């Protein structure tokens, strides 16, 4: 008789819930108590900041090497007088392979045309197909970054004061 092997995730949670839990639970948690404690900590971290970099609180859970990139990028911009929010940091790092690096973003910050985005209620600096979304109250806070060949139709020329 051939025995069917069942994994701990199928036993503890059922197939559907296991798909949600397994990515967050380290593979070393085999004891029930450890498993539920690890699950609790993992889910809790989804809704609370995992660490604080300067004045930035990271809400996501990142590999240590990626978190170091976030810290370095945040510090680099902080030294230039800008505070980049987590979403913006991820935008910058994610676009490095396409040539949208820190220097290109800094150039857009210094030379960009001013627009207002009423959909996101943000001021925008646009230069070399890079859109940098800034906080309306504090334009030194970078919220997000994207790329677009043309000026978005929703953009209004000038900043909201």
41 pLDDT tier (thresholds 50, 70, 90): low
Name the DSSP letter for residue 96. Answer: G
**What is the structure's pLDDT at 161?**
79
Where along the chain do its domains lie?
8-47, 52-157
Residues 24-39: tens digit of each pLDDT: 444 444 445 555 555 5
Residues 119-158: tens digit of each pLDDT: 999 999 999 999 999 999 999 999 999 999 999 999 999 9
CA atoms within a 13 Å half-sphere pointing along the CA-CB vector of 76? 14
7 pLDDT tier (thresholds 50, 70, 90): very low
123 φ/ψ angles, rounded to the nearest 5 degrees: -80, 150
Q: In the chain, pLDDT over 90 holds for what percent of residues?
A: 56
Phi-psi label, residue 72: left if phi above 0, alpha if psi -120 to 50, beta otherwise: alpha
Pick the CATH number of 52-157 from 3.30.1490, 3.30.2310, 3.40.50, 1.10.287: 3.30.2310
Angle at CA of residue 16, ends 24 and 19, nearest 5°: 25
Q: Which of 44-48, 57-61, 139-143 has the highest mean pLDDT?
A: 139-143
**What is the structure's pLDDT at 59?**
86
Residues 83-120: tens digit of each pLDDT: 999 999 999 999 998 888 999 999 999 999 999 999 99
């Amino acid at each position: 008789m051939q025995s069917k092997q069942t994994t701990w995730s199928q036993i503890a949670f059922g197939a559907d819930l296991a798909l949600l839990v397994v990515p967050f639970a380290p593979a070393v948690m085999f004891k029930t108590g450890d498993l539920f404690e690890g699950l609790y900590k993992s889910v809790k971290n989804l809704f609370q900041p995992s660490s604080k970099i300067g004045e930035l609180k990271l809400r996501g859970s990142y590999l240590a090497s990626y978190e170091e990139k976030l810290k370095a990028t945040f510090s680099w911009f902080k030294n230039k007088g800008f505070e980049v929010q987590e979403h913006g940091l991820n935008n910058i790092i994610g676009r490095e392979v396409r040539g949208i690096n820190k220097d290109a973003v800094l150039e857009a910050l210094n030379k960009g045309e001013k627009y207002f985005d009423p959909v996101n209620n943000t001021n925008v600096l646009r230069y070399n197909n890079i859109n940098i979304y800034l906080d309306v109250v504090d334009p030194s806070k970078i919220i997000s970054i994207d790329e677009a060949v043309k000026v978005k139709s929703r953009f209004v020329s000038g900043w909201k004061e």
